[in-house]
Every structure is written in structure tokens, then in C-alpha cells.
Amino acid sequence: MRAVLFLLLAATAAPAAWKAGASKVEITPKEPVWLAGYGSRTQPSEGVRQPIYVKALALEDSTGARSLLLTFDLLGLDQGTARIIAESVQKRFGIPRERVAMVASHTHSAPVAGTVLLPAYPLEASHVAVIERYTDWMLERVTEASEQAVRALAPATLHFGQGFAGFAVNRRRVGNRARPGPVDHDVPVLGVKGSEGRWRAIVFGYACHATVLSDNQVSGDWPGYAQAAIERDHPGAVALFVTGAGADSNPLPRRAVALAERYGETLGYEVADVLKQKLVDVAEPLRAAYREVDLPFSEAPKRAIWEDRAKTGENHMVRNHARAMLAMIERNGKLPERYPYPVQVWRFGNQMKMIILGGELVVDFAHRFKGEYGADDTWIAGYANDVFAYIPSLRVLREGGYEGGGAMIPYGQPSPFRWPVEEIIAETVDQLITATAAP
């Protein structure tokens, strides 16, 4: 009997296989800076409505393999900035590229960082200098957050569940009640609990644009309010937001601070409710894979067209885009015919898989991958590792419009993507899903 009791106590006291550490570091600008997302803005920021953050979750499984999730209250990270961060993390902590995931909330009320969407803005040299200064400072804060999370690694358990929130509306068919567009209303939640029994980190997601607000004050928009609500309701926890495939979804109604707060509270309440339910215990190890695959552009206009647009384009965005294309031709002799697209998969034991994709991902990808790999345990993240364009499905590519190709102008790409862009991504995802399967 005493031997049985000893074994029971030993099992109860056994340390968790996972180790986890979380941190948050503020990246609110200290001077007026151009805010990202809207080409209609005409001047830098005018004050701060809400602080913004970079947050980090470090994980270590029983094999000693470490992984790092970084989330940003920013519109997105460009390829160069993401590579700087990934290389720094690998150099400082030995965490390889496939185990570093960087996801932006896509708030349209945070500073322009790096080169994301630069042609969209009527910038002067002084504005660019402030953006560069902010980007360098922000990168220092990323290093600080990463170091804090890694230093905080301690025994933990991971738990997964899903909820629902209904404020996202497909913006391509607003008002078409007879033929509404698809949406993804899932709210995936990964709770990280310390050995003392309290939530240490709460990762949650939703597929919707962060575009309730459109003024000139710094803010995380509704994802910022959601994170604040979760941290308020779970003292000591760091809330990390992972944007889903919401490129063609908007929060409606919008354009009022009270609505941003309401949607944040809605998600905060739903996450709290999920954490109270019976969650799936997430086993280790964490298996990871990363690959960049070429996505083909359609044929770009000839040089003479760019020269004409640079002089007579209908607005600053078209003119900026044309000048950027001409500069690229001067630099490289031609325009690129393809773009290296980041595809990443994290598989947590056999309980949950995260498909982490770059760019502004339309909702069809979420429905496709959840259908193929299981809606109950598949988490789709967009706006990850490189935000450089909208990523259209075949449906959206055929329909055209802003998400189907028009947005290539503010994003500074030479032309819309062409088929089979969706199949290239899907094939790569499938290869990485297979590569991360249990041996």
C-alpha cells in the first residue's frame, strides 16, 4: 500500500514534459510616425489611444528542442525584417528557422515598420527617416522580448480548445444576403499553465481584419483590446493574438472606438469561456517544418507603361508603385516572375497542428485545410513571417477585385498572382504536414 501511495505521489509530483516562458515588451512609438494600413492618411500619428506590444512565447519539449512564437501589434513584417529577427534568434538562442514563427495582428493603427505597404503612403524623406528609426528600435524590443521568454522557461502544461465569435463578415459580398461570402468564426485557444496551476500564457486566434478604427491614434484595434481583456481577466498571463485567414473579412459594424472595445471584450469573454471548458491536453514533442516556395506572378506591364504611370498615375499610390517598379528594373534588369512564399507547420504531439502562412490569407484556405486535416485540431494562421501581398484562392483569383490582384499596387508587387498559386501552397502544406507527422 505504501509503495502504491509513493508511486501515486511521484506521478502527481512529476514535472511537466513541457517548459514554457512568456513575455511582453511595449513597442508604442515615442514620436509621431506614419501609421500603416490606410493610403488615405495624410500625416503622421497624433497621439496614443492604446499601447502596442511585441510578445513572445518560448517552448521547450522533453527532447530539448526550443521554439519561439512572436506576435506583433503591427500591420505586418516584411521579408527582410523577418529574416533579421529569425537570424538573431538562431544566433542568440540556437533556435532554428522552422521553430521561429512571427505573426502580426494586422492592426491598421500601428506604425509603418520596415517596408510593408510603402507605396500606399505619400511619404516624404523625413517620414521615411522616422519609420527607419522606429523599425530599428522595434527590433531591439523584439530581442528583449525573446530573451525574457527564453529566460523564463519553466515546467508547464499545454491545453487546447476552440470557441466562436461572429463579428467577422466577408467584405467582398457585404449586403448580399442571398449569396453571403464565406467566413471563419472559430476562436482557437492554446492555454499554457504553470506548475502552480495558473495560466502563464494564452494564445488565441480569429480571422478578421483589424480595421474598426481609422483615425490617427496608435492602437492595437480590437486585437489589442482583446489581449488587454484576457490579461485583465487572467492576472499574470500574457495574451498572444494569432491572426487567422481573414484577408477578405472585416469587422462590421465599425469606425467607433466603442465597437473596437466591444469586439475585444467579446473575444476576451469567449477565450475565458473556452478555458473553463474541458480542454485537450497537448502532448509533446513539437515537430516543426518551414519552407519557402515560389508563387508565380502574371505577366507584368512593359517599361513604357511604368514610365507613363510614374508621371500621370491617378494618385500617389499608383505613381509610387510605378516608380518602385522602374527602380527594380534599373537594379535587377527585370521584374521578378515569382515570390518566395513562407510556409510553416508546427505539430504539437498528436493533439494539434498549426499551419502558419505568409501574406494576407483569404478565408478559403482555412476552410480547405480544416477540411483536409481536421477542423477540431487544425489552427490556421496568416500574416506570418512575411506580409507582402494578398494570397488569393482560385475563387478570389477568378473574381478579381482588391484581394484578387488590385492590392499588388500598394504592396509594391509587379502584377497579380496567377494560377496555380492555391495548389502550390496546398501541396507544400501537405508535404510539411507529412514531414511533421509522428515517426
Digit-coded pLDDT (tens) for 31-54: 999 999 999 999 999 999 999 999
Are 328 and 377 in a shared domain? no
Q: Residue 145 is part of which domain span?
A: 14-292+338-435
> Do the domain assignments include residue 1?
no
**Cell 487567422 appears where?**
244
| Number of C-beta neighbours around residue 357 at 10 A | 27
> Do the domain assignments include residue 6?
no
Q: Which helix (H) or strand (E) holds 201?
A: strand 199-206
Q: How far is CA 151 from CA 18, 20, 212, 290, 337, in A?
A: 15, 10, 36, 25, 43
Q: Write phi, then psi, for 366 (nearest 5 degrees).
A: -65, -45
Number of domains in the chain: 2
Are 308 and 162 in a shared domain? no
Tell me what pLDDT residue 439 has.
Answer: 86
Digit-coded pLDDT (tens) for 104-148: 999 999 999 999 999 999 999 999 999 999 999 999 999 999 999
Are 230 and 320 in a shared domain? no
Tell me what pLDDT residue 180 has.
Answer: 75
Beta bridge partners of 426: none
CA angle 213, 216, 218 (to 5 degrees): 80
- Prediction pTM value: 0.95
Tell me, rounded to whole angstroms, the distance of Cα 341 from its chain centroid.
Answer: 14
Are 308 and 288 in a shared domain? no
CA pseudo-torsion sign 157, 158, 164, 168: positive
Q: Write phi, then psi, for 283 (nearest 5 degrees).
A: -85, 160
Are 35 and 150 in a shared domain? yes
Tell me what pLDDT residue 3 has.
Answer: 40
Are 113 and 182 in a shared domain? yes
Are 195 and 315 in a shared domain? no
Tell me what pLDDT residue 181 has.
Answer: 86
Are 53 and 153 in a shared domain? yes
> Do the domain assignments include residue 3?
no
Cα–Cα distance, 113 to 125 (Å, whole number)? 15
Average pLDDT over residues 344-369: 98
Average pLDDT over residues 71-95: 99
Cα–Cα distance, 325 to 322 (Å, whole number)? 5
Tell me what pLDDT residue 177 has.
Answer: 60
Are 127 and 275 in a shared domain? yes
Helices and strands in the chain: count of H runs, count of E runs: 12, 17
* DSSP symbol at 171: G
Confidence of residue 179 (pLDDT cuts 50, 70, 90): low
Average pLDDT over residues 249-273: 97
Confidence of residue 6 (pLDDT cuts 50, 70, 90): very low
Are 152 and 41 in a shared domain? yes
User: Cis omega (within 30 of 0) on the bond before 301?
Assistant: no
Say whether pLDDT at 14 is over 50.
no
pLDDT > 70: percent of the chain: 95
Average pLDDT over residues 157-172: 96
> Do the domain assignments include residue 2?
no
